[in-house]
Amino acid sequence: MGFSLLPKATSCILFLVLLSSTCFTSTDAYDPLDPNGNITIKWDVVSWTPDGYIAVVTMNNFQRYRHITSPGWSLEWTWAKKEIIWSMMGGQTTEQGDCSKFKGGIPHSCKKTPTVVDLLPGTPYNQQIANCCKGGVLSSWVQDPNNAVASFQVSVGGAGTTNRTVQVPTNFTLKAPGPGYTCGRAKIIRPTIFMSLDKRRVTQALMTWQVVCTYSQFLAQKYPTCCLSLSSFHNNTIVPCPTCSCGCQSSSSQSGHCAKPGTLNLASVVSGFGKNKVSPTIQCTNHMCPIRVHWHVKLDSEKYWHVKVTITNFNSRMNYSDWNLGIQHPNFDHRTQVFGFSYKLMTPYDSINDTALLWGMKSQHDHFLNLAGPNGKVQGDILFRKDKATFSFDKGWAFPRRIFFNGDMCVMPPPSAYHL
Ligand SMILES: *[C@@H]1O[C@H](CO)[C@@H](O)[C@H](O)[C@H]1NC(C)=O
Ligand SMILES: *[C@@H]1O[C@H](CO)[C@@H](O)[C@H](O)[C@H]1NC(C)=O
Ligand SMILES: *[C@@H]1O[C@H](CO)[C@@H](O)[C@H](O)[C@H]1NC(C)=O
Ligand SMILES: *[C@@H]1O[C@H](CO)[C@@H](O)[C@H](O)[C@H]1NC(C)=O
Ligand SMILES: *[C@@H]1O[C@H](CO)[C@@H](O)[C@H](O)[C@H]1NC(C)=O
Ligand SMILES: *[C@@H]1O[C@H](CO)[C@@H](O)[C@H](O)[C@H]1NC(C)=O
């Protein structure tokens, strides 16, 4: 496998402790299943104004399987000079800041470090631009490339009006909505070429720069968010998720706060009254993960073997619409069939061709799409074609090598548990 490409292993030890599993994806923003995954933010200056420019800012999610869900992204930067934002379309800053020195027109924002968020669906058309107004939600590249892009337009004042006087903003920060992304410096690149709709005329940006942001599970959160349990038709033992996969139960610590099964709905209603008491939204389990993935080897026939995959939600506050599940298993190939889920093989590079992405089918009822509610569940079947040379029930061969939920690695049972 291609894991020898590991550049540096800064956080491996911590990861080992947390996951009691091998260390491989934990380096800074490095993901062996999506080595070039990034969010690219491009600024195209499309016209000059008396004191600055108008730019269209486009965010492309080039990550194969990581998306941004509600309440959506926010983007922050620091102006290099004394720029202000006169107006915006398709997005807005969260704060106006101090614009008191402006007598006539009042700018949209005078903050040195503005924070921009997307507008909501249903925004009046005169405030929209293409690809805006999705409440900050951004699909992953594999699941829905058409919705993996967001844009807003910004009219900047106090900026200079030639490509030599404009200075690129600094210190870009992308939140989704929490931490996890690290953005590089803005780099001036060749001006973008635009093609008119009828393809008969080509125009180009007056100036273009871009910023590349990458994700690291480490920056994003302290605890893993999902775990794997296993079973097989030829042995009635069920291997549960490892205890304390995502934290341990305890009444004192914040992380170990949980709700007894059946009390979840009540607990979250009560929480509305007392603000200090954060009500638990995670159901009490041994693993304490919001998401459990169960892999059941179901059937073995001459030509095929079947797996039933069940994803269960233990977090009453999340419905995980647009969830996705990455699975690594050597039997995935072009002939694998999946029922109940949408499915695509991922081939990040030639040496890894054993990974697939599963997600909810839009055509089906909501309960196949969403993991809403306590014990919300989705299920599907994978039909693998047998390759006699490699197939085996030995040493856990029929179990997945790694599992990712919404792009984050799930905690696996220890190797000894694979001897079902
Ligand atoms: C970002 O993703 C794009 C699309 O996959 C790729 O072409 C580009 O090289 C990536 N950039 C970096 C810095 O990884
Ligand atoms: C960049 O942003 C971070 C976080 O917002 C802040 O702590 C840091 O001081 C900023 N750096 C500069 C040079 O503005
Ligand atoms: C700025 O404009 C000049 C002349 O129009 C052009 O030659 C140059 O490449 C531009 N520089 C950038 C960074 O776009
Ligand atoms: C799931 O959550 C999203 C965003 O929070 C919301 O828009 C959607 O209506 C919810 N769906 C269900 C079935 O609860
Ligand atoms: C997958 O990759 C392995 C190792 O690089 C190779 O031997 C195998 O033929 C590939 N399988 C497919 C279906 O491409
Ligand atoms: C079933 O799995 C358990 C746990 O790994 C093992 O101890 C037991 O021997 C297995 N039973 C059979 C019949 O293989």
Could you give the C-alpha distances from 266 to 271, 272, 273, 278, in angstroms and in order? 9, 11, 12, 13
pLDDT at 289: 92
Answer whether residue 250 is part of any domain.
yes
Answer whether residue 364 is part of any domain.
yes
pTM of the model: 0.75
Provide the residue range defining the domain that includes 347. Answer: 225-418
With residues binned 3-state (H G I as helix, E B as strand, rest as coil), the percentages for the chain, rounded to 5, are: 10, 35, 55
Give, using CA atoms, the residue closest to atom 2 of ligand 6: 420
Burial 76-99 (b: 16+ CB within 10 A, else e): bbebeeebbbbbbbbbbbeeebee
Spans of the chain below 70 pLDDT: 1-30, 32, 221-222, 251-256, 261-280, 347-352, 363-369, 373-374, 420
Residue where one domain finishes, among candidates 186, 215, 244? 215
Q: Are residues 195 and 244 in the same domain?
A: no
Tell me the helices (H) and strands (E) count for the chain, helix number first.
4, 24
- Compute, in angstroms, the gap from residue 187 CA to the centroid of ligand 3: 14
Mutation pick for ligand 3 pocket among 44, 163, 210 (CB with most ligand atoms within 8 Å): 163
The length of the chain is: 420
Residue where one domain finishes, among candidates 159, 190, 215? 215
Q: What is the CA radius of gyration of the chain?
A: 24
**Cβ(77)–Cβ(170) below 8 Å:** yes
Residue where one domain finishes, among candidates 197, 215, 233? 215
Q: Which two tokens stand for residue 44?
A: 């195209």
Q: Are residues 78 and 208 in the same domain?
A: yes
Q: Are residues 235 and 196 in the same domain?
A: no
CATH of the domain at 183: 2.60.40.290
Number of domains in the chain: 2
Could you give the C-alpha distances from 85 to 43, 98, 160, 231, in angstroms and in order? 14, 12, 13, 58
Answer whether residue 14 is part of any domain.
no
* Residues in Cβ contact with 249 at an 8 Å cutoff, skipping those fewer than 6 apart: 256, 258, 284, 286, 288
Full DSSP string of 393-418:
SGGGTTS-SEEEETTEEPBPPPGGGG
Residues having CB within 6 Å of any atom of ligand 2 = 78, 171, 173
| CB 187 near ligand 1, within 6 Å | no
Instruction: Please report where in the chains the tokens 């006087």 appear, as a residue.
Output: 165
- Tens of pLDDT, residue by residue over 146-184, are 999 999 999 999 999 999 999 999 999 999 988 889 999
Q: Are residues 37 and 125 in the same domain?
A: yes
* Cα–Cα distance measured from residue 210 to residue 43, given in angstroms and rounded to the nearest whole number: 6
Instruction: Say which ligand is closest to the CA of 213.
Output: 1
pLDDT at 8: 34
Q: Are residues 162 and 267 in the same domain?
A: no
Q: Are residues 111 and 45 in the same domain?
A: yes
Q: Are residues 190 and 250 in the same domain?
A: no
Q: Are residues 120 and 253 in the same domain?
A: no
Q: Are residues 234 and 364 in the same domain?
A: yes
